[in-house]
Chain A
Amino acid sequence: MTGDDKLPSLEELERSIKKAKERISEKENGQTNSGGAMRVSIDLLSGVIVGSLVGYYLDKWLGTLPLFFIICFFLGVAGSGLNIYRSAQRDNKKNS
């Protein structure tokens, strides 16, 4: 082989590194978000259900209807809001 093979210039190296980085990030971006269309409604509903059930059975055990039921209902709503916030945060982290 004739010895006229120039080493790749710094700009060419930078370009190929950037292309490789884009390829890697594109592969990771092929994931859909964790929920999609019915994410918010189903997460909200499940928080309400869990809160109501826990509150109701706690009340039946302690005999203090409806105090714990109301408290746990609102805690369940807050919990479902936290779940929705976390899954939205996760999707933003994946897409950015």
Chain B
Amino acid sequence: MSANHNPLEQFAIHYFTDVPEVMGMNLNFSNSSLFMVLVVLAVSAFMILSMKKKSLIPGRWQSMAELSYEMVANTIKSNVGNEGRDYFPLIFTVFMFVLVSNLAGMLPYSFTVTSHIAVTFTLASFIFLGVTLIAILKHGVKFFGFFLPHGTPWWMAPLMVFIELFAYLARPVSLSIRLAANMMAGHTMMKVIAGFVVGLGFALGWAPLALLVVLTGFEIFVAILQAYIFTVLTCVYLNDAIHLH
């Protein structure tokens, strides 16, 4: 009765509707979309309901909401400076979405939205395009001076421009791959070791079970850390756009 469960089956997309394609786009509602909706509802409910009382001395929920606000505000202040305060809604949305989707993937039988490159690459490319647009709108044509660092000798200038251009283009790719790879690798490892627990049975299954407990704790830490790293890097790219080095 060796049912070989594929550890990668947890990343499969299942559709709940059966709508025909519109202009080549698949508009069906999938389990990924369901969890994205749940994440957005959870974050909105948390922030709106916690701040309902608006008391001067915060209760427990309100102080958690204020804590999350302050954490993102401090990150922006230390990475972007005071001009970054205009972009607080964007950074807060990105941080809360990635954090709660990463953590929601740790619940049993759930689906990790950010483990798909499609999701993280879309997020990272929109951030990249938005930051580039902000830089062009703020600095005009001088934005292209970003690609020539100060003090390069004239004979190295064309080469440096191309290398800087590739380094700039590699940013959204690395941002997206980092998040997706961390999530996918963590969940795959948990599934594989859980398979060991079942496979080794009652007698020997305790050892991989203990490892699984430790791994789950580590995965929760990685979920929070990766959300934080994603946000910090977004702030760094925003700082590059606003201050142009």
Binding site for B on A (CB under 8 A): 28, 31-32, 34-36, 38, 42-43, 45-47, 49-51, 54, 72, 75-76, 78-80, 82-83, 86, 90
| Alpha-carbon gap, A90 to B181, bound state (A) | 23
Chain A residues with CB below 8 A from B225, complex form: 32, 36
Chain A residues with CB below 8 A from B181, complex form: 38, 42
Judged by DSSP, the binding face of A is helix
B177 pairs with A42, CB closer than 8 A: yes
Chain A residues with CB below 8 A from B174, complex form: 42-43, 45-47, 80, 83
Contacts A50-B169, A79-B170 given; does A38 touch B182 at CB 8 Å:
yes
| Alpha-carbon gap, A83 to B166, bound state (A) | 10
A/B interface sample: 11 pairs, CB < 8 A: A31-B232, A36-B229, A42-B174, A42-B181, A46-B170, A47-B166, A54-B166, A75-B162, A76-B166, A78-B163, A83-B171
| Alpha-carbon gap, A50 to B173, bound state (A) | 8
Tell me if B56 counts as interface (CB < 8 A to partner A).
no
| Alpha-carbon gap, A51 to B173, bound state (A) | 11
Contacts A32-B225, A38-B182 given; does A50 touch B166 at CB 8 Å:
yes
Tell me if B122 counts as interface (CB < 8 A to partner A).
no
CB distance from A79 to the nearest CB of B (A): 3
Judged by DSSP, the binding face of B is helix
Query: B183-215 CB contact bits vs A (8 Å, 1 = yes)?
Result: 000000000000000000000000000000000
Going nearest first, the 6 A-B pairs with the smallest beta carbon separation are: A79-B166, A79-B167, A46-B174, A46-B173, A82-B167, A50-B170
| Alpha-carbon gap, A57 to B64, bound state (A) | 49
From the candidates A36, A47, A90, name the one contacting B170 in the complex (CB within 8 A): A47
Q: Taking CB as reference atom, which chain B residue is nearest A45? A: B177
B164 pairs with A79, CB closer than 8 A: yes
Tell me if B78 counts as interface (CB < 8 A to partner A).
yes
Q: Taking CB as reference atom, which chain A residue is nearest B168? A: A79
B164 pairs with A82, CB closer than 8 A: yes
Chain B residues with CB below 8 A from A47, complex form: 166-167, 170, 174
Contacts A79-B163, A90-B236 given; does A32 touch B170 at CB 8 Å:
no
Chain A residues with CB below 8 A from B233, complex form: 34
| Alpha-carbon gap, A78 to B168, bound state (A) | 12
Chain A residues with CB below 8 A from B182, complex form: 38
